[in-house]
Structure formats: structure tokens, C-alpha cells
Chains A and B, each alone.
Chain A
């Protein structure tokens, strides 16, 4: 696949326009059933895309250092969030990109988001990065997709690793691990400063961004407790919404403000006893891994009295529930340096050994009083796919709750059969109701 030299504007311009439309719609005709804080969220999204557009025009470097977190910005990059941008490219656009990779011989079964980002960037629909860090802390498809882009466009890359100590590494405070990752991040900073004009590491800026991250996640921790309320105050779509770090946004203080306002609104719903499931909440399920972004199975479930208080992805529920350390938490009684802090956070649960991924499901189910798990077997997701049965067996034996493993694609909708998908959901709901009745 050959690279295009277009400016990388089309996606960004489209997103700015989409956010503007949404903001205007809310201002003109506010929907009382939707959070008022959505305006702030769309403004954050819009401003970030505008920042990216301006960066393209002015030649400011784009990059991804550690999952678009504080280190990325403190190196002087505008975050390059191609993987998240790909998530928003579903339906016809996704099919168009897939047709491109298919023509080049890429197989069908690779992860949707990772496949899509390649033509998005190579064609110039999304900006070309100046630097990409590749890592092993999340999944192989992201690592490989980034390497592909970097190799084709001759972009400087730096690979850093977390290590695995047989099956012993399970989110424990491991000094050797911390030093290992921190040292590599130090090397990466030297590499970036040498290779990417305009980049210089600023530790003070990193501390500031980490501080915002802490405040932001603390609000999400408040939200986690509210999610446990019966009925669940969140709609499935809200639970499923992708968590984007505060430092991704141009104005992280505003991101914290948004999260605060949003959680306050959810608290109000709890006070009023409002829930999304209609006419009343009969079941509470965990949605795991990913889902069909082009469809709305959540409304379908809510209309059957089923709420989805949480989605299980990466490390998020570990942060929200307080089981995983967040930015600024002490490490064996001491404060971490900013770089050590960054090193600690690049450790997503689904990238660890399988037991951690199984346990986070059990924890979420216990915390939020859930009756079952919908485990989305996403095409091309090797990090989660082969653990579905282990999650299901463990949830059954330890919590007595069933799991539905349902196969599907995340962004490519051409094979999606809504009737078939929903009928599987419906059968599972019946099973869960029956099981719940027996449990009680």
C-alpha cells in the first residue's frame, strides 16, 4: 500500500464539523434524557481536533509515547490517537478502508481498529505521526499496526516492553518491573529528542498532566460507586463509551471539569431513582471486550429491562474500582518520579497474563451486583478471544452467573445481522432471568 501525501485533514475536519453540529443541536434543542455535560465533552473533542488541524498546518510534531498519556504531551507532541480515531470510523467508512487493505492482500480476520488505522494514515486521511512508540503492554495487533505504519512511512519508532515473570506478574508492585520500564522510557526520551525536531521533554509539564489525570480518574472512581446503584443510573451506551485520558485533550482542566459535572449529573439520577432499563430493571449485565460500534444493542437490552452498568476493557475498571493504582498513588509508601509514574501506568489488564483478565471480570460483577456477562468475541482480538471460556467457567464456578460469548466485528458492519445478534441476546437474557430466579 503506497503512502499518500495529503495533509491528514479529512478526518479531522469531519470530526470538527460533527462536534459543532452536536453542540449546536444540544444548545438549540436540549434532550432532557441526555447529560447536560455532553456539551463540554463535544467541546473538548472539537478543540482537540482543531489543535490537531492547526498542528498539521504548522508542522508541529504528532506522536504517541505511552498510550497518548501525559508523557506524549510533555515531550512536545500533539497526541496522535489514530487507534481511537479508527474506533470512530465505522459503517460505510470502515468498509471503504477495509476494501483498501483487502485489495492489498490483508486478511479479513485482523482486528478492525488496527486494520483501519493503516489505510487511514497511509492515505493521509489522518495525520502522519513524527514518532510512534510501540509496546507490549496492550496487544499484539496494535503493536503490529503501528510497526506497519512506521515501516511504510519511515517513521522513527521505539519499542519498550513490560516483562512477564512466568505467571507471577499480577498487578503487584514490582520494583524490578518499574525500573525496567522507567529505564526504557528514559532511553525513549533521549531517542525522541535526538530524532524529532521540536521535541524536548518537560518533567514539570508531565507532573501537571499527571495531576489532571489523577483528578479525572478520581471522578471516575466516584462514578463506579454510583454504577452500583439499583437501578443502574447509566445507559448502556454511556457505560460503553470509550474512556479517553484527560491529557489527550488540549485543555485537561476542562476535561476534569467535564468529568466532575457528568458524575454530578449521574448522582442526581441516583438520588431520583432513575434508571435506563425499562420499564424496570430486571437484570444487570457486564459487557466485555468490545461491541458492534455501528449498532445499538444497548437500547435493545434496556427495552427488555436489562442495564449494562459497566464495560470491561483494558485496565479501566481496575482504576475505577480502586484496585489498580492511579496517578499519584504511593508506591510502597513513597512518591514516584513522573517517569516512574508513567511506567507504572503502562500496564493494561488485558495485556497481562490471563488470570488478571479473569479476575477483573469477577471484581466488576461483585462490585456492581451483576447477573451475567456478555463477552464479545471480537474478530482479530487474540488477547481476549481465547480467554472467553476461562472467564465464563470461572464466573460460573465462583459467582454462579452465566456468560454469553458472542462473535462479531467491531467496526466492519457488512456481516452484521441484527436479528441474529439480538436473538442471541434475547435467549441469554431469558437464561439469566431464570438463573437469577433460582439464585434468589
Chain B
């Protein structure tokens, strides 16, 4: 039967609909990416609170969030104020202490985080330990909990970490007034594993010659995941995947390809800086990025608590963990997988682990022949011109080297 020719006005209508759908998807993506902007980030937490449910602020990517969710509470990653000044926190913390911790304390003291029912962290480093000490002392918020996190993963420490996770579970049960059954935990693990797999798919797409999203957009997505109810985030991201399959990131250039490295970085402008300077950030090693969602919990395990603990302790480590060789190997692996031309590391001012690790990293990455530059940044977005110049110089150096080869 001969195919009926489509009437011109129908084709026009379909095109308009597709364009509208495309625009709709782009809007949806933009909305998701902007979730952690100051004006948006507390939105879901407040909705959650309006249902008489608790919201807990998290300071660290090692806190097993599934437990909090299984207790019916919302785990919400704390972003400190992006304002330059932190005068209230200055009374407790001298200028030269971890800026993320100071900006978090500022947000606590100025009332921005009054909706939180508690703050959870680990003794990630001395700065985080002392931030929790101060919160406990000033009783703001009413509940503060510090989880013990080992500095290495071996038979002894893994066992203690499992105990630490179980103690945390009990504390969450007490706080929420519920029992966390294995069934509830398994349900949450499924949700979180889905979130990780979805983000993993997005990161897989970043391996393409022209990635579907910029590095700054990727950070927007991973930080969105941590302020939204995870099921809602999953639905949003899942519906965007087909669109992302065809999307090309709005980039000036697609070369050189950079891996950006940092810790506690949640301001996308820092990532955008490298992209404005003429590179594309195709991968990150942020605890707020890849290291937040990398590796899933083995949901088939008979001992689900152990499986949960294992995932958190053995995921790609941040610099406070003592396995610097493995950290360098992980970076090297990502450099190959993502066809990276160089690593730009932005060490947050006054945060010591990365300040020390970079000496060792310089040696290890140098031996691997990977161009690497490391310098300091503030927590809030600052010193744009200076940083941009340094990144541009690094990009030029990489390009010169590529030409020589």
C-alpha cells in the first residue's frame, strides 16, 4: 500500500512539538542542574519538613545515606554559604582553617540552616572534627553525630567501620523513633544504587569526543542528587537520559580534555572557569562528584550491613585516606578512560590533606607522564582572574606538548 504523504501542516506541527519537547527537556535539565543553587537547594528539604519528617545535614560523602533514608529522614548535603564573608564563624574559627567548614558554620550561625534537625559527619580531618565539636558545644542544631571513619581499609579497620555504621544505625533509629529493618535498608540501597547507575551512565557519556554535558553541569547534577529526595532525583534524571544521548554540551572547544580535581567543591563556577578558558572538563575526582556516587552496594550480599559499609570504605578515596598510591592509580585510570590531556587540581584553601598530598601526587603523576597543575582556591567563588590565567597557561602548555608529540 502506498505510504500516505504527510500533510505539510502536520509535519510543521510535529516539528514544533519536537522542538518544544527539546526545549522542555533542556529546561528540565537546566532545572535539575540548578538544584544546588542557593535559591533552590533547601526547597526539597522544606517540603520534606512540611510533611513532619526530619532533615539531616551531611558534611561528608562517607556518611551512609541509605540508613538515614531508611529511617524516613532526608539526607541533605550541606553547602556552606557562597558569600565571601563568614564573620560569625570567624569568632570560632580563625581565618586560616578549612573554608568549607567555616562557611558551613556561618550558615549554621546566621540561621540559613535552621530547618535542619541534625548534622552528621565523620572525623574526616581535624577541621571537620572541630566543626562538629563546635556544633555540639553550641547545640546548634540540636543533634550532632560524628561517625568514626578509618584512614585505611584492612581487615581490622573494616570490621570497626562496620561497627561504626551499626552504631550510627542505632543513633538514627533513636532519632527517628523507628526501627530500621533489613528490608527497609535493602529498599533504600536499591534506590541509591539506581541513582549511582544513572549518574554513572551520564559519566560514561562524558567519554565521548563531545560530551553531552559540561563539567560544571555535571557538578550541578551530582550536587542535585544530594539535596533532593533520591527517588525524585532518579525519576528526573532517568527521563533526561534519552535527551542526553543526543545532546552536545555547549562548549567553545572540545580539546584539551581535563580532569578536574578538588575536595568539598560545590560551586560550579570553578569548573566553568576551565571551560571558559578553552578546555572541556570531561571528568572529576570530587567527593561532591564522581567520588560521591562511584561504586554500588552489593545488594545481593547476605550481610547487607557489611555490604553497605564496604561500599563506603572502599569507594575511590579522598586525600585524608592514607592510600595515596591507590588514589594516584585511580586518577591515572580515569585519565586513560576519559582520554584526559591534563589534570587541574584546585585545592581548597586551608584544607590540609590535599595540600600535603599534592607533593606526592606531583611525583606519581609526573612518573606516569600526566600533565598536572595544582593551586589553591577559596570555598566561595573568588579570584577568578588569577585562576583563569593559571588555567589558561596550563592549557597552553598541554597544547604545546601535544603539538610537539
- Structural contact, A152 and B363, CB atoms closer than 8 A: yes
Contact of A106 among B94, B96, B151, B355 (CB under 8 A): B355
Contact of A110 among B101, B171, B355 (CB under 8 A): B355
Residues of chain A contacted by B152 (CB below 8 angstroms): 159, 161
Q: A: which residues have CB within 8 A of B?
A: 1, 104-107, 109-111, 118, 134, 136, 139-141, 143-145, 147-148, 151-152, 157, 159, 161, 163-167, 176, 180, 183-184, 187, 353-355, 377, 379-380, 382-383, 385-390, 393, 407
- Structural contact, A141 and B324, CB atoms closer than 8 A: no
Residues of chain A contacted by B151 (CB below 8 angstroms): 134, 136, 143, 159, 161
- Structural contact, A377 and B94, CB atoms closer than 8 A: yes
- Structural contact, A163 and B353, CB atoms closer than 8 A: no
- Structural contact, A147 and B92, CB atoms closer than 8 A: no
Asked if B184 CB lies within 8 Å of chain A CBs, one says: no
Can you name 6 extra interface pairs (CB under 8 A) apart from A107-B349, A387-B134? A109-B96, A148-B356, A161-B150, A161-B157, A163-B148, A353-B129
Interface residue tally of chain B, by bracket?
35 or more
- Structural contact, B325 and A144, CB atoms closer than 8 A: no
Per-position contact with A for B104-129: 1 when CB-CB < 8 Å, else 0? 00000000000000000001011101
The 7 tightest CB contacts between A and B, nearest first, are A354-B133, A144-B356, A151-B360, A382-B126, A386-B130, A159-B322, A164-B148
- Structural contact, A145 and B96, CB atoms closer than 8 A: no
Asked if B277 CB lies within 8 Å of chain A CBs, one says: no
Least Cβ distance of A371 to chain B in Å?
23
B residues 136-167 touching A (CB-CB < 8 Å): 136-137, 144-148, 150-152, 154, 156-157, 160, 163-164, 167
- Structural contact, B146 and A164, CB atoms closer than 8 A: yes
What would 17 A/B residue contacts be, using CB atoms closer than 8 Å? Answer: A104-B359, A109-B96, A144-B352, A148-B359, A165-B148, A166-B147, A167-B133, A180-B160, A183-B156, A353-B146, A354-B137, A382-B126, A382-B352, A385-B93, A385-B130, A386-B94, A393-B137
Q: B: which residues have CB within 8 A of A?
A: 91-94, 96-98, 101, 123, 125-127, 129-131, 133-134, 136-137, 144-148, 150-152, 154, 156-157, 160, 163-164, 167, 171, 320, 322, 324-325, 347, 349-350, 352-353, 355-360, 363-364, 374-376
- Structural contact, B96 and A380, CB atoms closer than 8 A: yes
Residues of chain A contacted by B324 (CB below 8 angstroms): 147, 151
Provide the bound-state CA to CA distance between A183 and B150, in Å: 14
- Structural contact, B353 and A151, CB atoms closer than 8 A: no
Provide the bound-state CA to CA distance between A145 and B324, in Å: 13
- Structural contact, A386 and B360, CB atoms closer than 8 A: no
Residues of chain B contacted by A377 (CB below 8 angstroms): 94
- Structural contact, B357 and A144, CB atoms closer than 8 A: yes
Least Cβ distance of A440 to chain B in Å?
30
Provide the bound-state CA to CA distance between A353 and B126, in Å: 10
Provide the bound-state CA to CA distance between A164 and B94, in Å: 25
- Structural contact, A107 and B146, CB atoms closer than 8 A: no
Provide the bound-state CA to CA distance between A354 and B359, in Å: 30
On whether A386 and B148 interact (CB within 8 A), knowing A134-B322, A353-B129, A354-B134, the answer reads no
Provide the bound-state CA to CA distance between A353 and B358, in Å: 28
Residues of chain A contacted by B350 (CB below 8 angstroms): 107, 109
Residues of chain A contacted by B123 (CB below 8 angstroms): 136, 164
On whether A382 and B160 interact (CB within 8 A), knowing A110-B355, A144-B356, A354-B137, the answer reads no
Residue in A closest to B347 when the chains form the complex, CB atoms: A107
Residue in B closest to A157 when the chains form the complex, CB atoms: B322
Provide the bound-state CA to CA distance between A136 and B151, in Å: 8
Least Cβ distance of A140 to chain B in Å?
5
- Structural contact, B356 and A110, CB atoms closer than 8 A: yes
Least Cβ distance of B241 to chain A in Å?
40
- Structural contact, B376 and A383, CB atoms closer than 8 A: no
On whether A166 and B171 interact (CB within 8 A), knowing A151-B324, A180-B156, A382-B126, the answer reads yes
Least Cβ distance of A155 to chain B in Å?
12
Provide the bound-state CA to CA distance between A161 and B152, in Å: 8
Contact of A145 among B136, B145, B157, B356 (CB under 8 A): B356
Residues of chain B contacted by A407 (CB below 8 angstroms): 94
Provide the bound-state CA to CA distance between A195 and B157, in Å: 21
Residue in A closest to B123 when the chains form the complex, CB atoms: A164
Residue in B closest to A181 when the chains form the complex, CB atoms: B156
- Structural contact, A386 and B127, CB atoms closer than 8 A: yes
Residue in B closest to A405 when the chains form the complex, CB atoms: B94
Contact of A382 among B97, B356, B364 (CB under 8 A): B97
Contact of B97 among A134, A163, A167, A385 (CB under 8 A): A385
Least Cβ distance of A57 to chain B in Å?
28
Residue in B closest to A386 when the chains form the complex, CB atoms: B130
Contact of A105 among B130, B133, B150, B375 (CB under 8 A): B375
Residues of chain B contacted by A144 (CB below 8 angstroms): 352-353, 355-357
Residues of chain A contacted by B363 (CB below 8 angstroms): 151-152
- Structural contact, A383 and B360, CB atoms closer than 8 A: no
Residues of chain A contacted by B133 (CB below 8 angstroms): 167, 353-355, 386-387, 390
Least Cβ distance of B98 to chain A in Å?
7
Provide the bound-state CA to CA distance between A152 and B376, in Å: 21
- Structural contact, B359 and A1, CB atoms closer than 8 A: yes
- Structural contact, A165 and B352, CB atoms closer than 8 A: no
